[in-house]
Chains A and B, each alone.
Chain A
Amino acid sequence: AQSVSQHNHHVILSEAASLELGCNYSYGGTVNLFWYVQYPGQHLQLLLKYFSGDPLVKGIKGFEAEFIKSKFSFNLRKPSVQWSDTAEYFCAVNVASGGSYIPTFGRGTSLIVHP
């Protein structure tokens, strides 16, 4: 069965620190990868996605992620975090199933940024 692993469950940083959240998936076929973010009290929303082309994708709010096919990874990065980046981050991979595509999510990483 396909799975998505997020290695960091809780991350605490100070403002201006650099961020990298790990995401690895186990699926041998073509994948489409997503990072979703859930800010406190808000609903889940898309941060960025990769489906083809340049493996380095840029999302909203200065986030970027790099797809490394050989490592089955899609790590999320931000050079300098802000207090407002405090949120829960979920990595997801779309897997073909029954004529549609079902996202499999990782368990999430809780990021707390201290001002």
Chain B
Amino acid sequence: KAGVTQTPRYLIKTRGQQVTLSCSPISGHRSVSWYQQTPGQGLQFLFEYFSETQRNKGNFPGRFSGRQFSNSRSEMNVSTLELGDSALYLCASQKDVGATNEKLFFGSGTQLSVL
């Protein structure tokens, strides 16, 4: 069974640009969540999608947005990039969003560098 796939693996952008990251969950998983990982802040929750609907959103500005498609694949978009957006962006999937004890399956992440 293929794991969670994130593309691209690395991205270099300049301030003011926008970026779109992609995530394909494990087959059969309908919940996709996104996290920002930085050395100082650890993992911070961005948002979660289930059946094409955003179920939860973290404390990030509106420049961060996402969507989920009918095949459960998800994209996140960051507009008007700032230097502080440089981070590893992780995607995770799980089968059922309502199961509290379900573990997350993480992708390898997209390393975004903003110059």
> What residues of chain A have their CB less than 8 Å away from a CB belonging to chain B?
32, 34, 36, 42-46, 49, 51, 90, 92, 94, 96-108
Contact = CB atoms under 8 A, between A and B. Distances in A.
Given A51-B101, A100-B97, A106-B42, 10 more contacts: A42-B108, A43-B4, A43-B106, A44-B90, A44-B92, A90-B43, A96-B100, A100-B50, A101-B99, A101-B102
A34 B4 CA distance: 19
A103 B45 contact: yes
The 3 closest A-B pairs by CB, nearest first: A107-B42, A51-B101, A105-B43
B103 A43 contact: no
B100 A51 contact: yes
Interface in B20-36: 31, 33, 35
B75 interface: no
Q: Is the interface of A mostly helix, strand, loop or mixed?
A: strand
Q: Which residue, of A34, A44, A90, A106, has the highest number of chain B Cβ atoms within 10 A? A: A44
Interface string B75-115: 00000000000000010100001111111101111000000
B103 A98 contact: no
B56 interface: yes
B63 interface: no
Contacts, number: 66
B43 A100 contact: no
Given A99-B98, A101-B97, A46 B103 contact: yes
B83 to A, nearest CB: 21
B41 interface: yes
Contact of A104 (B3, B45, B50, B104): B45
Interface string B31-72: 101010000111111001010000110000000000000000
Contact of B106 (A44, A51, A94, A104): A44
Given A90-B42, A90-B43, A107-B41, A43 B100 contact: no
Contacts of B108: 42-43
Contacts of A94: 100-101
